[in-house]
Homo-oligomer: A and B are copies of this chain.
Amino acid sequence: MHGAVIHGAGDVRYEERADPVIRKPTDAIVRTVATCVCGSDLWRYRGVSPVSRPVPIGHEYVGIVEEVGADVTTVAPGDFVVGGFSPSDNTCPVCAKGMQANCLNGGIYDGCQAELIRIPQADGTLVRVPGRPDDALVPGILALSDVMCTGWHAAVSAGVAPGSTVVVVGDGAVGLSGVLAASELGAERVIAMSRHADRQEIARSFGATDVVAERGDEGIARVQELTGGIGADAVLECVGTEESVVQALRATRPGGTVGWVGVPHIAEIPQDLMFRRNVGIRGGIAPVRAYLDDLLARVLDGRIDPGRVFDLTLPLSEVAEGYAAMDERRAIKALLIP
């Protein structure tokens, strides 16, 4: 089979790789229907995170079960499935608390931007989609594999509730998903911070009531204007840079919370913006499995269409162009079809 392998900064190749095989009785093999490039993949593509040797890459997928291990009982060959970016058994004490990203018995994928994928902990990881969904629904289901559930985790972690005022920092696929999550969770005001017209448009279609294009002091001043002079109840940090984390903390009112899901690449957490201001930070790697059933139902009944974050579709063989387009901000998120 073929799949994407990252060799170094700016160097993603579509290569022949060995077909994955069942290694443990809890594994399954899935034939990919669609996969995609994640903003977090760009940390390595941009050289921010080092790549010491060529490694298969990608962690999002929907597909059809090809084979299952002896212990797998909830999915069978032929099932259309979606799974989160982080395998989990969904039964350990941490999973029982709804924190499947920190599963005590989780595993890792060997690169999901590929024609075939080995799924560890298949029973706990995969969710069966009834029948064979219409092609038009595939992007929306694929978005649940990471970005939509990650945006949802930001909103849940920040304590978004009916009536909340919310600021979303970051207008990538996760930030836009965070706008949709905040809106679905009943936020009264959802302020998207975005400078790009196309992303602003998606943000509005996802429920943003306001868009703030300014950054830094001006951006904070605009947020203050929109929040009665005190900042937002909940702020979703969907980037992970120093600038965005500071922006998020500053945009939060006393007693409010930043829900952070952008993998932090920061020297340190600015504690001067926290304790004395009574501003907290919660969140981390999203427990996709905790949200998957609920959000899949919303996608299947047409209530939400998180697949709108995909604005570029390519053959999987052109995966390198998907990275380049996202790196150069020509695309929000690239969907890849084997």
Give me the interface of A with B, judged by CB distance under 8 Å.
93-94, 97-99, 101-102, 104, 157, 228-230, 233, 253-255, 257, 260, 263-264, 266, 268-269, 271, 274-285, 287
Contact = CB atoms under 8 A, between A and B. Distances in A.
Contacts of A271: 264, 266, 268-269
Closest 8 CB pairs of A and B: A280-B282, A102-B254, A278-B284, A99-B255, A99-B254, A269-B269, A268-B268, A275-B284
A282 to B, nearest CB: 3
Contact of A93 (B157, B230, B279, B287): B230
A280 B287 CA distance: 15
A239 B104 CA distance: 30
Contacts of A287: 255, 278
9 contacts: A99-B254, A99-B255, A101-B254, A260-B275, A264-B275, A268-B271, A278-B287, A280-B280, A280-B282
A33 B266 CA distance: 50
Nearest to A262: B275
Contacts of A283: 275, 278, 280
Identify which of A229, A260, A284 gathers the most chain B CB atoms within 10 Å of its CB.
A284
Contact of A230 (B94, B101, B263, B280): B94
Given A279-B284, A280-B281, 18 more contacts: A93-B229, A93-B230, A97-B230, A97-B253, A97-B254, A102-B278, A257-B282, A260-B275, A263-B275, A268-B269, A268-B271, A274-B281, A275-B283, A275-B285, A276-B284, A276-B285, A277-B284, A278-B283
Contacts of A157: 280
Nearest to A275: B284
A17 to B, nearest CB: 28
A284 B252 CA distance: 14
Given A264-B271, A271-B269, A275-B263, A253 B94 contact: yes
A271 B285 CA distance: 13
A324 B157 CA distance: 43
